[in-house]
Amino acid sequence: MQKEITIGEIFGEYGEAYITRNRVKGQEKGLIRLLSACRTNALGNHFEQCNNCAYTTKAYDSCRNRHCPVCQQKDKLQWLDKRMTELLPVGYYHLVFTVPHELNPLCLQNKKAMYGILFKAASQTLLELARDTKHLGADIGLMTVLHTWGQNMMEHPHLHCIMPAGGLGFDKKHWVHAGNKNGFFVHYKALSRKFRGKFLDLLKQAIDGNQLVFKGKLAQIAGKKAWQTFVGKLYKKEWVVNIQAPLGHPEKILEYLSRYVFRIAITNRRIIEVKDGKVLFSWKDYRTGRSRKMRLDIDEFIRRFLLHVLPKGFFKVRSYGIFANRYRRQNIETAKKILRREHEDAKEEAMEDGITVSEKQDTVWDEIKGLIRNFKNPNCPKCNKGRLRFAGIVPYNHIEPG
C-alpha cells in the first residue's frame, strides 16, 4: 500500500521556498513551519502506555494546531466525548447557510468581521423565527460550524448548523416538536430571505463602523454609489440555505458532528501524489456528484490551503439558544427530563387503552448510553483492549533500548 502523503511533508519540502518567493509573514509563515514540524523530532517525543496491559511506546509530539489534518483526529475525539452526553432522543436537522460568491473577496480581506457576521446572521435568523408563535414558538438549540472552502480548496464561506427537531417551550415545562416527519418549521424561502436581510443589515453596520477594508480590486466598490449598486444586486439575489431532513439515529448524528466540526480545507487522504512540482488530489464536484482529480502547482496548492487560515482566537464552532454555554447543561437536562416524561406518559396511556407501544425512543436512549460507554475504541496494538495514554516526556538524552 502506498504511503500516505501529508500536508506536513509538503510544507516541509516546499514551504521555505514558498515563504521566500511569496514573502510570507506572520501567522501564515508560522503555520507552514509548525505543520512541517508536526510529529517529527523537531517538536520532541513522549511515552504512551496502555491503560489495560501496560504496553509502552514512544511517539512524536503533535503541533495541536487546528489547521493541521494530523492533529484534528485527537481533538475531534475529545470534543465529541464532551458532546456525547448532550444528545437528545429526537431528530436533528442539518442546515447550511451559504454566502453568495460575490462576497468571497470581501470575506478574504476581512475574515474576522465577515465570518462573525455570518455567525450572527444565521443564528439570529433561526432563533427569531423559532420563537415566533406563527412558526414554532419555542427556544431552540444550535451548534454552528464555519467552513470557508469548497472541495477544490477555493474560497466558499458557509455555515453548518445542527439543531434538534424542536425546542423548549417558553415555560421550560414542555417540548415543542418541529413539523412533521420530514418538514421544517418554516418554509426555506422565508428562512433564506430573512437570512439575507440579517446579513446585509449587519454588513451595513460594519461599513458604518469602519470595520471593513477595501484593498486592491475591492477599492472599486468602496465608494458610496458603487457600494449601493453592489449591495442592491445582493438584495435581489436569492440566497442559498439548504435544509436536510432530520436525522433520528445517534450514530448518524455523531457522523455529522465528527464530519463537520474538525474538517479542514483538505485532508491527507485526498492527496494522491506530489510529482514534478505539482500536487494531484481528489475532489468532489457537487454540481455533478462525481469524484474528480485536480493537479495544481505546489505554490498554488499552498496558496489555496492558506486562504483558509482563520484569525488567531477566532472560534469556528459556536453554540446558541438553549445550547449556549451559560445555561447549556441546565437546559439539556431539562429537555431530557421532559422528553423522557413525555415518552413514559405516552406509554402509560397506550397501555391503558390496550395499544402496543413503539419502543423506538427507548431504543434511542439505549443506543445513546451504549455510544457513551463504547465511544473510546481500543487503540493498543498489543492487547487490542486498552487505550494508549500519555505516560511522560522522553528525556532529551534518551537512548532507545537495544
pLDDT in tens, 51-67: 889 899 988 888 888 89
Which pLDDT score, from 0 to 100, does residue 402 have? 32
Predicted local confidence at residue 41, as pLDDT = 83
Task: Report the candidate in 79, 46, 40 with the shortest Cα–Cα distance to residue 63.
Answer: 40
How is residue 191 written as a grid cell?
A: 428562512
Residue 121 lies in a domain: yes
What is each CA distance from 289 to 4, 157, 293, in whole angstroms?
25, 20, 13
* Residue percentage of the chain with pLDDT more than 70: 87
The residue among 81, 61, 62 whose CA lies nearest residue 71 is: 62
Low-confidence ranges of the chain (pLDDT < 50): 397-402
Q: Note the Cα 198 to chain centre separation in Å.
A: 22
Closest CA to 70 of 261, 266, 275, 258: 266
Indicate whether 375 belongs to any domain. no
Write the CA distances from 110 to 118, 207, 211, integer angstroms: 12, 11, 8
Note whether 143 and 55 are same-domain residues.
no
Does an H or E element contain 282, and which?
strand 278-285
Tell me whether residue 113 is in a domain. yes
Q: Are residues 118 and 58 in the same domain?
A: no
Q: Are residues 195 and 298 in the same domain?
A: no
318, 248: one domain: yes
| Contact criterion met (CB below 8 Å) for 202 and 113 | no
Q: Say which amino acid occupies 137.
A: G
Same domain, 113 and 215: yes
Residues 10 and 79 in one domain: no
This prediction's pTM: 0.87
Model pLDDT, residue 274: 96
Asked if residue 129 lies in contact with residue 194, where contact means CB atoms within 8 angstroms, the answer is yes
Identity at 234, one-letter amino acid code: L
Q: Do residues 153 and 46 both lie within one domain? A: no
Domain membership flag for residue 5: yes
Assigned domain for 29 exists? yes
What is the model's pLDDT at position 376? Answer: 55
In a domain, 174, yes or no: yes
Q: Which residues contact 294 (CB under 8 A, 6 or more apart)?
A: 152, 280, 281, 282, 283
What is the per-residue pLDDT for 348? 75
Both 168 and 48 in one domain: the answer is: no
Q: How far apart, in Å, are the Cα atoms of 160 and each of 28, 157, 308, 382? A: 25, 10, 16, 39
Total Cβ atoms within 10 A of residue 28 = 17
β-sheet with 278-285: strand ranges across: 271-275, 278-285, 290-297
Same-domain check for residues 50 and 189: no
172 and 195 both lie in a single domain: yes
Q: Could you tell me if residue 339 is inside a domain?
A: no
Q: Is the dihedral of CA 377, 382, 386, 392 positive or negative?
A: negative
Residue 381 inside a domain? The answer is no
Task: Give the total number of structural domains in the chain.
Answer: 2
Domain that holds residue 11: 1-68+271-306
Q: Give exposure, 360-375, as e/b (b: 16+ Cβ within 10 Å).
A: ebeebbeebeebeeee
Residue 207, classed as helix, strand or coil, is helix
In this structure, the answer to whether residues 132 and 259 fall within a common structural domain is yes
Q: Are residues 187 and 280 in the same domain?
A: no
Question: Can you name the residues that pair with 149 across neighbouring β-strands?
Answer: 155
Question: What pLDDT sits at residue 374?
Answer: 52
